[in-house]
């Protein structure tokens, strides 16, 4: 998440010329699950371990995350930015990050039952994005948070959920890249 916040800061000050080549949904791609062979996977583990004291990580995330939030509030949603060989309107770029941070919010509270979850709007947008990428809707009976948890492989579907998913169950998990 620290890397994500840094990415937001960098991207918001990386102007781009021309028309957008992607929007808040099409900037995402469904990718194969990580095998652990990607050097970035090892880097993330090493960076996390370098903090040793979780308080240091919290401090760094609060600091960089707050700066990214302030930069996002000040940014012109119609301005163009460049990231990952794409040009996006700032509004679309930030909307894509709603998905990323909503899913990570669910990760952070997974074992904290008395902690507030993501905002309903972020959950709904994230669900819509995942369904559009998958080309198929999850059952309406699934709460948005469960769609994200099951859909991204953060938890296995229950037997009842698996039955409700039908053929979609065989396509899970969807890994966003």
The pairs formed by 167-170 with CB atoms below 8 angstroms and a separation of 24 or more are: 168/134, 168/136, 168/138
**C-beta of residue 57 within 8 angstroms of C-beta of residue 51:** yes
Predicted pLDDT of residue 37: 84
Q: What's the burial of 78, exposed, middle or buried (CB within 10 Å: 0-12/13-18/19+)? A: exposed
Average pLDDT in the 142-154 region? 97
**Host domain of residue 75:** 2-176
Predicted pLDDT of residue 39: 84
pLDDT interval class at 164 (50, 70, 90)? very high
Count of domains observed in the chain: 1
Predicted pLDDT of residue 47: 85
Look at residue 148 and give its three-state secondary structure: helix
For residue range 77-124, list pLDDT tens digits in order: 999 999 999 999 999 999 999 999 999 999 999 999 899 999 999 999
With 0.85 as the threshold, say if the pTM is over it.
yes
For residue range 5-45, list pLDDT tens digits in order: 999 999 999 999 999 999 999 999 998 888 888 888 888 88
Measured distance CA(93)–CA(81) in Å, rounded? 8
Average pLDDT in the 135-142 region? 96
Predicted pLDDT of residue 155: 95
Predicted pLDDT of residue 32: 85
Q: Is 90 exceeded by the pLDDT of residue 142? A: yes
Average pLDDT in the 126-151 region? 97
Q: Is 90 exceeded by the pLDDT of residue 48? A: no
Predicted pLDDT of residue 52: 87
Provide φ and ψ at 100, rounded to 5°: -55, -50
Predicted pLDDT of residue 78: 98
């Amino acid at each position: 998440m620290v890397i994500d916040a840094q990415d937001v800061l960098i991207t918001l000050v990386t102007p781009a010329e021309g028309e957008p080549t992607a929007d808040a949904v099409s900037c995402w791609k469904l990718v194969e699950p990580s095998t652990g062979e990607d050097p970035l996977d090892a880097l993330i583990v090493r960076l996390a371990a370098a903090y040793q004291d979780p308080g240091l990580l919290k401090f760094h995330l609060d600091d960089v995350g707050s700066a990214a939030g302030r930069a996002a509030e000040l940014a012109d949603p119609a301005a163009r930015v460049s990231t990952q060989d794409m040009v996006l309107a700032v509004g679309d770029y930030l909307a894509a990050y709603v998905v990323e941070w909503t899913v990570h919010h669910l990760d952070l509270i997974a074992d904290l039952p008395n902690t507030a979850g993501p905002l309903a709007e972020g959950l709904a947008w994230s669900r819509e994005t995942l369904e559009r990428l998958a080309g198929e809707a999850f059952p309406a009976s699934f709460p948005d948070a469960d769609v994200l948890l099951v859909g991204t492989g953060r938890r296995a579907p229950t037997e009842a959920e698996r039955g409700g998913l039908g053929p979609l169950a065989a396509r899970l998990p969807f890994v966003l890249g």
